Chain A
Amino acid sequence: MSVQRFFRSARFQALWLSLLLTALIVASSGMGYMHIHFFDVLKIVLAKLSGVQSLTDGVNRLFPVVITEVRLPRILTSATVGAGLALSGVVFQGILLNPLADPYTLGVSAGAALGASLALWLNISAWGMWSVPLLAFAGAALTLLAVIYLASSGSGLSSGDLILSGIIVSAILSAGVSFIKYMADEQVGVIIFWLMGSFASKTWADVWLTLAVLILGTGVSMYFSRELNVMALGSRTAASLGVDIRKVRLILLITASLVAAVCVSVSGIIGFVGLLVPHIMRTICGPDNPRLIPVSILAGACLLLAADTLTRAVLPHEIPIGVLTALIGGPFFCYIYRKRQMSGAHDD
């Protein structure tokens, strides 16, 4: 393998992205209102992992609490949510055969938004702190079922029908969200804040929940990654290569939607990560899904963690993360799209 090919290979990408992610986690742990030195962060993490408390001798006694109870949960949640959104982006683009699909194309975000808005408007607190995420998740899952039902016909699920159904259902649900905002007097601020996404005050419970779903989703997606490749050749060719398209499409659709729904229910609506990351990684290391999926997951984690650290610790005022990703991601997407148009390369 030549040097140039090695730098473009998925193995190399995965390697440096893993290193970058580790570095980002450590660096961002030290950043914030209280600056904590790099070595102190390492000491605190090592002490926590090994159980040897004497390692943190000489470190400000507030720091371990800040790191392990405040910053790390937020940092790890943002990384896993970024990874989850990127994963579902790869899978959605693969099954919908559309490089412009993202985790929200099928109305997952609109469903989650309606569920969360309802919970916030009616002050539903039957499940304590989990009330809003639970209703958001229920909204997302019900929306997915409705979209699949609308799109299914005798011959299975076609990608065009799925996208169209997603747009129709999203439009209806968005009207519902607008209505709730209109009806909600003093809660309207809370609803808008949730809709714009945030990782503030995330706990270890959020980390474990999103991580578990991410691992499950990654496993299922990797298991079917070759089928996803073959599906890019069209449904007849995929069938002739032994792929049960209807089954694989349904399993991956549900998997990717659940990952996206859990991410949204934990973090609120964060756009562009699921669209942008698979797109960029595909131009770097190709569309081969067994390679693309792991690389995109790592890149998504890095991107969202970096964005959240930017808004949390660098900017003078915290900007909602959903707004930030759209503000950075949107123009960047325009740039790579324009560059591709100029070079005359097309996906179709």
Chain B
Amino acid sequence: MMIEMEHVAFDYGTRPAIRDVSLVLEAGVFYGILGPNGCGKTTLVDILIRHQRPDAGIVRYQGKPLAHYHRRQIAREIALVPQHYAVNFPFTSREIILMGCYPHLSRLQFPTAEDQRRVDNIMVQTGVQEFGNRLISELSGGERQRVIFARALAQNTPVLILDEATSNLDIAHAISLLSLALDRVRQEGVTVIAVMQDINLAALFCQHLVLMKQGRVVHSGPCSETLTENNIHSIFQVRSKVYEDNYAQSRQVVFNRTSHLG
């Protein structure tokens, strides 16, 4: 197994954010984490990249406690595409994507020709090659998000975490980026952990769903088992209809105007 969380808990002062989460994530699987706002999804991600340390419990990466890894070692294993990004200085898109190579370079080493070629490829794949030399501050929100995504791919890690990475994107770009992530899962055995808001996009791409509520993992399993009307009701307090869609070739969920009334 790739990542293992055992009885992990974390709180901000008095407010518990994560309570007793135990979870096993295997290599080469596209995971989706779903749950209402404030259910602890982002905190879970912060613990995985060791931006926060759990107050209780243990996180293991490939059998070894995450706390025993050096930060740069973790950065070579796990990459993050955050939801909120603010780039405070006028870097070019390409400069930002090249920063993804930093964890693999020593302080005196410059990115090699090989790194440059890899970055070029990623820029073509993510469709950002035409604004490589433009300043990040001049790009639209969606264009920036693609640059940030490309930066995470350039980090070239076995685990890729998407923290609501497609929330600000139009549907075409959202699908194209999630497809790129899925390609990595299928071709290179990368593990993707995607925190998502859109249940139907999650159903389309994720093989395994983790449903969270109030800091706990309530359900975890393959889409076919976890994506049910009952589970959606217990997590989000909305009524819905779940069905197998022929066009999507996956389960899909539909709501109606009074779904929120429970």
Is the Cβ of A230 less than 8 Å from the Cβ of B102? yes
Contact with A along B72-84 (1 / 0, CB 8 A): 1111101110101
Is the Cβ of A287 less than 8 Å from the Cβ of B90? yes
Is the Cβ of B91 less than 8 Å from the Cβ of A348? no
Chain A: minimal CB distance from B95 (Å): 6
How far is it, in angstroms, between the C-alpha of A288 and the C-alpha of B98 when the chains are bound? 11
Pairs across A and B, CB under 8 Å, 6 listed = A94-B89, A226-B99, A230-B99, A236-B46, A236-B51, A240-B79
Which residues of A (226-259) have their CB < 8 Å from a CB of B?
Answer: 226, 229-230, 232-237, 239-244
How far is it, in angstroms, between the C-alpha of A234 and the C-alpha of B50 when the chains are bound? 15
Is the Cβ of A241 less than 8 Å from the Cβ of B155? yes
Q: Which residues of A contact B135 (CB under 8 A)?
A: 345
Work out how many contacts link A and B, with CB atoms closer than 8 A: 95
Q: Which residues of A contact B78 (CB under 8 A)?
A: 240
- Interfacial residues, chain A to chain B (CB-CB below 8 A): 94, 97-99, 154, 223, 226, 229-230, 232-237, 239-244, 282, 286-288, 345-348
Is the Cβ of A236 less than 8 Å from the Cβ of B102? no
Take A237-B80, A345-B138 as given contacts and tell me if A242 and B71 are in contact as well, using a CB distance cutoff of 8 Å.
Answer: yes
Take A239-B50, A242-B74 as given contacts and tell me if A234 and B85 are in contact as well, using a CB distance cutoff of 8 Å.
Answer: yes
Chain B: minimal CB distance from A89 (Å): 13
How far is it, in angstroms, between the C-alpha of A97 and the C-alpha of B90 when the chains are bound? 12
When the two chains form the complex, which single residue of A94, A223, A236, A286 contacts B82, counting CB atoms closer than 8 Å? A236
- Interfacial residues, chain B to chain A (CB-CB below 8 A): 13, 46, 49-51, 70-76, 78-80, 82, 84-92, 95-96, 99-100, 102-103, 107, 135, 137-138, 148, 151-152, 155, 161
Chain B: minimal CB distance from A87 (Å): 17
How far is it, in angstroms, between the C-alpha of A236 and the C-alpha of B85 when the chains are bound? 9
The interface centre, meaning the residue of A99, A234, A242, A288 with most chain B CB atoms within 10 A of its CB, is A242
Question: Which of chain B's residues has its CB closest to A243's CB?
Answer: B71
Question: Which of chain B's residues has its CB closest to A93's CB?
Answer: B89
Q: Which residues of B contact A241 (CB under 8 A)?
A: 75, 99-100, 102-103, 155
Is the Cβ of B91 less than 8 Å from the Cβ of A288? yes
When the two chains form the complex, which single residue of B76, B84, B86 contacts A348, counting CB atoms closer than 8 Å? B86
Is the Cβ of A236 less than 8 Å from the Cβ of B90? no
Is the Cβ of A229 less than 8 Å from the Cβ of B107? no
Is the Cβ of A240 less than 8 Å from the Cβ of B13? no
Q: Which residues of A contact B103 (CB under 8 A)?
A: 241-242
Take A233-B99, A286-B92, A286-B95 as given contacts and tell me if A345 and B84 are in contact as well, using a CB distance cutoff of 8 Å.
Answer: no
Is the Cβ of B137 less than 8 Å from the Cβ of A240? no
How far is it, in angstroms, between the C-alpha of A237 and the C-alpha of B99 when the chains are bound? 11
When the two chains form the complex, which single residue of B13, B82, B95 contacts A288, counting CB atoms closer than 8 Å? B95
Is the Cβ of B75 less than 8 Å from the Cβ of A242? yes
Is the Cβ of B90 less than 8 Å from the Cβ of A286? yes
Take A239-B50, A348-B88 as given contacts and tell me if A229 and B80 are in contact as well, using a CB distance cutoff of 8 Å.
Answer: no
How far is it, in angstroms, between the C-alpha of A230 and the C-alpha of B97 when the chains are bound? 11
Q: Which residues of A contact B148 (CB under 8 A)?
A: 233, 237
Take A240-B79, A242-B75, A244-B71 as given contacts and tell me if A233 and B85 are in contact as well, using a CB distance cutoff of 8 Å.
Answer: yes
